[in-house]
Amino acid sequence: MSLEIRRLIREMSIANPLWGAPRIHGELLKLGINVGQTSVAKYMAGRWRPPQGWKTFLRNHADGIVAMDLFVVPTISFRLLYGLLIMGHGRRQILWFGATAHPTAEWIANQLTEDCGWEQIPRYLIRDRDGAYGEIFVRRVRSIGIRDGPTSPRSP
């Protein structure tokens, strides 16, 4: 097969990303270019795919992922208590639980530091964008060596 036909196949696949090898093969036959469908598939431009999808990432790294969240509990005297929950994704278990009336970034950072007393430090931390996680917390997470992954804004 000539270099010109290979370039034409590549250009057609780039210009029409939804076309597969059968469609490009048919178009080439209409132009009078007699080439096999497997040859067309061989010379098509490769489509970019991410190295791993979200499900694969979770399956491969579940043991190193923890999630944390703050929640509010009203008491019988109408006071508010704030709970902090840290959960490991590997075995889906609660790793740490804390409660306070006044959550600060320093308190949350201390809770995370105390929680990291288990066998190994997690690689990834998933959390929301609550204002309680301040600069102190972010610095502590980075100093421990955890990759912090806040969720996107306004996500559930």
What tens-digit pLDDT sequence spans the chain (156 residues)? Answer: 799 999 999 999 999 888 989 999 999 999 999 999 999 999 998 766 667 787 888 888 888 899 999 999 999 999 999 999 999 888 888 989 999 999 999 999 989 888 776 557 888 999 998 888 989 999 988 888 889 988 888 776
Nearest CA among 51, 39, 50, 32 for reference residue 10: 39
| pLDDT score of 1 | 78
State the pLDDT at residue 153: 81
- Using an 8 Å Cβ cutoff, are 119 and 57 in contact? no
- What's the confidence (pLDDT) of residue 82? 95
The DSSP H or E segment spanning 149 is strand 147-150
What is the C-alpha to C-alpha distance for residues 62 and 118, in angstroms, rounded to an integer? 16
Look up the pTM and report it.
Answer: 0.61
Q: What's the N-to-C CA distance of the chain in angstroms?
A: 54
**Structure-block tokens of residue 120:** 């190994």
Beta carbons of 86 and 145 less than 8 angstroms apart:
no
Distinct helix (H) and strand (E) counts, the chain: 6, 5
**What is d(CA 83, CA 142) in angstroms, rounded to the nearest whole number?**
23
Query: What pLDDT sits at residue 35?
Result: 93
User: What is residue 147's three-state secondary structure?
Assistant: strand
Euclidean distance between CA atoms 12 and 35, whole angstroms: 14
Please give the pLDDT value at position 119: 59
CA-to-CA distance for 82 and 100, rounded, in angstroms? 5
Q: Which two tokens stand for residue 8?
A: 């034409």
